[in-house]
Amino acid sequence: MTKKLKTKKDAENSVPLDIPVDGEKSRLLVFADGNFLAHVSRALEVSKILRNWGYDIHFASRGQFRHLIEKAGFIVHNVVTIGRNTTLHHAKKAGLVDKEWWTDITYRSIDSDIRAIRKVKPYAVLGDMHWSLKASAAYLKRPYISIVNAHWTKYSSAKMLAPTEHILTRILGKKITETILPTVRKMGMQYWASPYKHWQQQNVRSGIKVESLMDVMEGDLTLMPDIPEFFPVQDKPDSVYFVGPILWKPDLEVPSWLENLKPGKPTIYVTMGSTGVKKILDVSYQAFKEKDYNILATTGNLQHQDFERHANFYVTNYAPGLALLAKSDVTVNHAGNGSIYQALAAGVPMVCIPTHIDQEMNAQRIEHLNCGRFIHECEITPELLEQEVNHVLEDPVYNNTVKKVSARFKHLNGQRLAAQYSHEYLQRGKVVSDPIQ
């Protein structure tokens, strides 16, 4: 079946190839962790395009950002989800977990996925970093499309430096830790994969083979919302593709104060995304209050009364990030995927303050590519933050480099390409468009 286009926006998202949607292949069930904005927003942006092309899409999600899916008009089904604080705790620790607890939550997640799939009866499933979906999709013989960061695949070739606050770094030092890090990471991925290996032994008919947690990340079609210049890969198969960043385009009003900034002053955009910590907002307040800057800040739901006492602060809970970046000279962020790619797309250099290891990997790449600077949460002080911001503002290498990267984004539309590749795979069994090089 095909969908008749009605608006200019619909026309821009029309199917680029003459591949009609087969009615038997039109229903998809999309899994997204509702506790984290990045996973919800990426799945949501791709799903809105696929829906516009004629797909019947349901969601399986649970968590504080589930309401964004419902607001977009999708039916949402409950699934087992690890609590937000628990996930952040383990991400920050970046170590092993209690095996009994991890096995229990893995089995419950797989069973929950299976129940949702049986209820909705989709032709295929799509998941954004939904680890258990590899097993549940294989068990029910459903095609599985995975959206996963490039550095979470076994094809990543970006060098990872020693995590600043990791226990190994504290005990062994950075040099030794970086020497043994590839081996340690491989062993850790094998440990985290152990419940899946046990499950596959009990469910041989599923056909999955899991040796590492990286195997769980990979789908029948795997889409990486990155660019190869930022997170390079090697030896990837034809089922794995870069699609470019999938940028969230929220239905939010631009704050009225954005047109009232004081002219002639550097403008700094402070944002902690959906996983920020109040400490960093407090340090930003101490660093920039009554200073000669315009400070734009999106705080999520963190308290920010102190900000409002000073005329150089312009504060709101949420706002369209790209609109604020268009007015900014530098951004202070937590190095989450959504924040860094919005900044790169806008051509704005960064000072990154990651709060867990996944964000630290992003921050390492930002600094390595001269797109900004990196301060670990444990090292941050108001004086250091202002020093690093001024360093980025004054050294033209950061602005020049990020502008070159930004030029790459003018030819990319991550959500559209992810939808296109998904559509081609679902209807033809393979991707037929030219991939990103």
Burial tier of 16 (Cβ tally within 10 Å: 0-12, 13-18, 19+): middle
Q: How confident is the model at residue 275 (pLDDT cuts 50, 70, 90)?
A: low
Please count the CA atoms within 13 angstroms of the CA of 158 that sit on its side-chain side.
25
CATH number of 8-245+413-428: 3.40.50.2000
Q: How confident is the model at residue 4 (pLDDT cuts 50, 70, 90)?
A: very low
Written as six digits, the tokens of 329 are 């000279």
Q: CA 166 to CA 235: how far, in whole Å? A: 29
CA-based nearest residue to 422, from 110, 23, 53: 53
The CA-to-CA distance between both ends of the chain, in Å, stands at 32
Kindly report the pTM of this predicted structure: 0.90
**Tens of pLDDT, residues 46-88:** 999 999 999 999 999 999 899 999 999 999 999 999 887 787 7
Q: Give domain limits for the chain.
A: 8-245+413-428, 256-409
Q: CA 58 to CA 43: how far, in whole Å? A: 11
Looking at mean pLDDT, say which of 307-311, 366-370, 376-380 comes out highest.
Answer: 366-370
Q: CA 14 to CA 3: how far, in whole Å? A: 9
> Does residue 109 register a pLDDT over 50?
yes
Q: What is residue 276's predicted lDDT score, i.e. its pLDDT?
A: 62
Q: Is 189:214 a contact under the CB 8 Å cutoff?
A: yes
* Chain CA centroid to CA 198, Å: 29
Q: What is residue 13's predicted lDDT score, i.e. its pLDDT?
A: 58
Top pLDDT among 19 and 131 is at 131
Q: How confident is the model at residue 166 (pLDDT cuts 50, 70, 90)?
A: confident
- Please state, for a pLDDT cut of 90, what percent of the chain lies above it: 60
Do the domains 8-245+413-428 and 256-409 sit in the same CATH topology, yes or no? yes
Lowest mean pLDDT: which of 34-38, 89-93, 290-294, 392-396?
89-93
Domain 256-409 has CATH 3.40.50.2000: yes
- What strands lie across the sheet with 372-374, from one edge to the other? 313-316, 294-298, 267-271, 330-333, 350-352, 372-374
Range 177-184 average pLDDT: 82
Q: What is residue 306's predicted lDDT score, i.e. its pLDDT?
A: 65
Q: CA 319 to CA 396: how far, in whole Å? A: 28
| CA dihedral for 91, 94, 98, 103, sign (positive or negative) | positive
Q: CA 121 to CA 77: how far, in whole Å? A: 12
User: Which residues, 6+ apart, have CB-to-CB distance to 125 below 8 Å?
Assistant: 28, 29, 30, 31, 117, 133, 136, 137, 142, 143, 144, 145
The mean pLDDT value of the chain amounts to 88
Q: What is residue 14's predicted lDDT score, i.e. its pLDDT?
A: 55
Q: What is residue 437's predicted lDDT score, i.e. its pLDDT?
A: 66
